[in-house]
Amino acid sequence: MKDDSDVICPRCDAVLTTPDDRFSTWCAACDWNVDPIGPVGIPKDRARELARHERAFRRMAAHGPDASPSGAAVYGALVLATAVNLATAALVATGVWLLITGTLPQRILGAVELLATVMLFPRPARLPKHTVDRATAPALHAIVERISGELGTRPPDLIAFDARYGARWAAVGMRRHRVLVLGLPLWETLAPDQRIALLVRELAHAAAEAGPRSRWIRSALDSLAGWESLLRPDPARSDLVPDAHHAVTGGRQASNIAHVGEMLARPLLGLLAQGAQLLHALLRRLDGRCVGHAYRADRTAARIATAGSAESLLRALLLEEPALLALERLSRGGDDLWEMLRGYLASVPDTERARRLRLSELRGDTSGSGQPPTCLRIRFVQALPRTEPVLTMTGTEARTVDLELAPVRSSIGRECRQRP
Express each pLDDT in 122-165 by its tens digit: 666 778 889 999 999 999 999 999 999 999 988 998 999 999 99
Residues 267 and 306 in one domain: no
Given a cut of 80, is residue 290 above it in pLDDT?
Answer: no
Residue that finishes a domain, picked among 287, 322, 346: 287
Residue 50 lies in a domain: no
CB 44 within 8 A of CB 56: no
Q: For residues 71 and 417, which has the higher predicted lDDT (pLDDT)?
A: 417
Asked if residue 393 is part of any domain, the answer here is yes
Please check the confidence at residue 201 and state whether its pLDDT lies above 90.
yes
**pLDDT above 90 (res 250):** no
Query: Average of pLDDT values for 317-328?
Result: 93
Answer yes or no: is 228 within a domain.
yes
Q: Decide if 29 is inside a domain.
A: no
String of b and e for 386-403 (b: at least 16 CB within 10 Å)? eeebeebbeeeebebbee
Residue 227's Cβ-count burial label (10 Å; 0-12, 13-18, 19+) is buried
pLDDT digits (tens, 9 = 90+) for 358-389: 988 888 775 555 688 999 999 999 999 989 99
CB 286 within 8 Å of CB 217: no
**Residue 185's domain spans which residues?**
136-212+290-418
Mean pLDDT of 230-235: 65
* CB contact set of 317 (below 8 Å; sequence gap of 6+): 166, 186, 374
Q: Say if residue 38 is exposed, middle or buried (CB neighbours under 10 Å; 0-12, 13-18, 19+).
A: exposed
pLDDT at 203: 93
400 and 262 belong to one structural domain: no
- Classify residue 42: in a domain, yes or no: no
Out of 287, 304, 327, pick the residue that ends a domain: 287
d(CA 399, CA 192): 10
Task: Give the per-residue pLDDT at 240.
Answer: 40
Give 3-state DSSP helix, strand, coil % of the chain, rounded to 5.
60, 5, 30
334 and 204 in a single domain? The answer is yes
Question: Which range, 4-8, 271-275, 360-364, 382-386, is most confident?
Answer: 382-386
Q: Over the stretch 55-104, which tens digit does the pLDDT of each residue have?
A: 888 887 777 776 655 556 667 778 888 888 888 888 888 888 988 888 88
Residues 191 and 225 in one domain: no
190 and 205 assigned to the same domain: yes
Looking at the fold, whether 118 and 240 belong to one and the same domain comes out as yes
Whether 259 shows a pLDDT value over 60: the answer reads no
In angstroms, the Cα distances linking 307 to 138, 145, 311 are 27, 21, 6
Does residue 10 belong to any structural domain of this protein?
no
> Does 118 share its domain with 237?
yes
Cβ atoms 363, 42 nearer than 8 A: yes
Residues 6+ apart with CB under 8 A from 347: none
In a shared domain, residues 224 and 372: no
On the question of pLDDT at 17 being above 90, the answer is no
pLDDT at res. 102: 82
Domains held by the chain: number? 2
Give the best-scoring range by mean pLDDT among 35-44, 123-132, 221-230, 338-347: 338-347
The pLDDT score that the predictor gives to residue 185 is 95
- On average, the pLDDT of the chain sits at 81
Same structural domain, 361 and 404: yes
> Which DSSP string do the residues of 328-372 spell out, in sequence order?
HHHTTSSS-HHHHHHHHHHT--HHHHHHHHHHHHHH-S-TTT-PP
Evaluate whether residue 13 is within a structural domain: no
Q: Considering 256, 287, 318, which residue would you say is the last residue of a domain?
A: 287
Residue 47 lies in a domain: no
Q: Quote the pLDDT of residue 288.
A: 61
User: Which of 10-14, 104-108, 231-235 comes out lowest in average pLDDT?
Assistant: 231-235
188 versus 292: the higher-pLDDT residue is: 188
User: Residue 51: which of 376, 353, 286 has the closest Cα?
Assistant: 376
Do 381 and 364 belong to one domain? yes
Determine the average pLDDT of the residues in 331-358: 90
Residue type, 405: L
pLDDT of residue 206: 83
Cα–Cα distance, 330 to 309 (Å, whole number)? 27
Judging by DSSP bridges, how do beta strands 158-162 and 177-183 pair with one another? parallel
Whose CA is closest to 69, among 403, 292, 349, 331? 292
**Residues 301, 366 share a domain:** yes
Predicted confidence band of residue 243 (pLDDT cuts 50, 70, 90): very low
pLDDT class of 222 with cuts at 50, 70, 90: confident
Strand positions, DSSP E, 39-197: 130-132, 158-162, 167-172, 177-183
Render pLDDT for 342-354 as a digit per residue (tens, 0 to 9): 999 999 999 999 9
Say whether pLDDT at 255 is over 90. Answer: no
36 or 174: which carries more pLDDT confidence? 36
Q: Are residues 149 and 203 in the same domain?
A: yes
